[in-house]
Amino acid sequence: MRNMAMDMLKRSKEIIRKEGLLVFAQKSLKYLAQKVNRYIIRYVGGVVPNRPDLVIFGAHRGESYRGNPQAVYEHILDNDYELTPIWITRSSQVYDRLKNENKPVVHMNSIRSLQTLFRANIGLFTHQTSDLSPTGRMGIPSSLNLIYCQHGNPIKGDPEANPDKRTHKKKRNEQVEYVLTTSEFQINQRLKTRPLSEDDFAITGYPRNDKIFSNPEIDFANNYSHIVMYAPTHRKTESLEMKFFPFEDFNPQKLFQKLEEHDILLLIRPHPDVTRGTHVGDEYESLRHFLNSLGGGAEVFTRKAVGRN
């Protein structure tokens, strides 16, 4: 708690120094209003009778349509389950797209989204509860059962493996019924960063990759003897101009030669925060080949594109 207070004080000083007292006052009022709204949603929503069949979905702070929630949402729509799935989004683009596809969707900035949030029995999300709620983290009814689908499982360790942050996450995890993960190894990794027990996890196995082979936009992938996926780690503290191969002995020509020699297609899947930047590093400008159909700003780098000095 003390560390949280110190962090808040530090952020407040930084806002005042960089943006002035007026901006600080505006942001403080907005923060207090969000706090009040969160309590209203959490406790008032908790006494509204929910619908056992109503399941809501959201991703990436309500801004995207992707990830595990998307897969489960579409699976329910394609099959005869006695469930009512609804996607919640704050993105007008996502809203219009799903509306045009006749899929059930509500805009987060609407009265209907609050009604849906109050009545829902289960919620699936990728990042945090702001994926589902207009008031951000913790702004969900106490009666809503959550399934945390995750959006990426670091294998090198988690920067949030910090005892001070475990207490902060405790309330956020109180309503989480299950956390989806890929293996026992990942359970052990997550237990270092989340105040959860092994019973809270559900192992799904590794993600499907059939989209790589069934998508007509990248049918050239089938022309190679081997396909290698490389997904470099990105941290919030890093520059958006990340280098995909940050190794002192890295030689693009040697990599190109190996790919040619073994007839390999190299797929590079950077973090979406990187692909949302204006560029991903001038030295790899020629490697940029975006395929939005894979979701999240996937990039496919053909073997010939790697051979640049």
pTM over 0.85: no
N- to C-terminal Cα separation, the chain: 51
pLDDT the model gives residue 124: 94
**What is the pLDDT confidence band of residue 290, given thresholds at 50, 70 and 90?**
very low
User: Which residue, 276, 260, 127, is CA-closest to 299?
Assistant: 276
| Residue 126 CB coordination number (10 Å) | 22
Which is it for strands 226-230 and 264-268: parallel, antiparallel or unpaired? Answer: parallel
CA distance 104 to 95: 9
High-pLDDT (> 90) share of the chain, % = 18
Burial (CB < 10 A; 0-12, 13-18, 19+), residue 300, is buried
* Residues 195-233 pLDDT 10s: 777 888 888 887 777 766 676 666 777 788 888 877 776
CA triple 283-286-291, angle to 5 deg: 125
CA distance 85 to 120: 9
User: Which residue, 68, 86, 45, 75, is CA-closest to 175?
Assistant: 45
Tokens of 32: 């207090």
Tokens of 218: 């990248």
Domains in the chain (CATH in brackets) are: 20-151 (3.40.50), 210-306 (no CATH)
Q: What is the dihedral of CA 129, 132, 136, 138, to 10 degrees?
A: -40
pLDDT the model gives residue 279: 40
In this predicted structure, the answer to whether residue 305 has a pLDDT above a threshold of 50 is no
In this predicted structure, the answer to whether residue 143 has a pLDDT above a threshold of 90 is no
Tokens of 109: 């900035």
* Residues 23-64 pLDDT 10s: 767 777 767 766 666 666 666 666 777 899 999 999 988 888
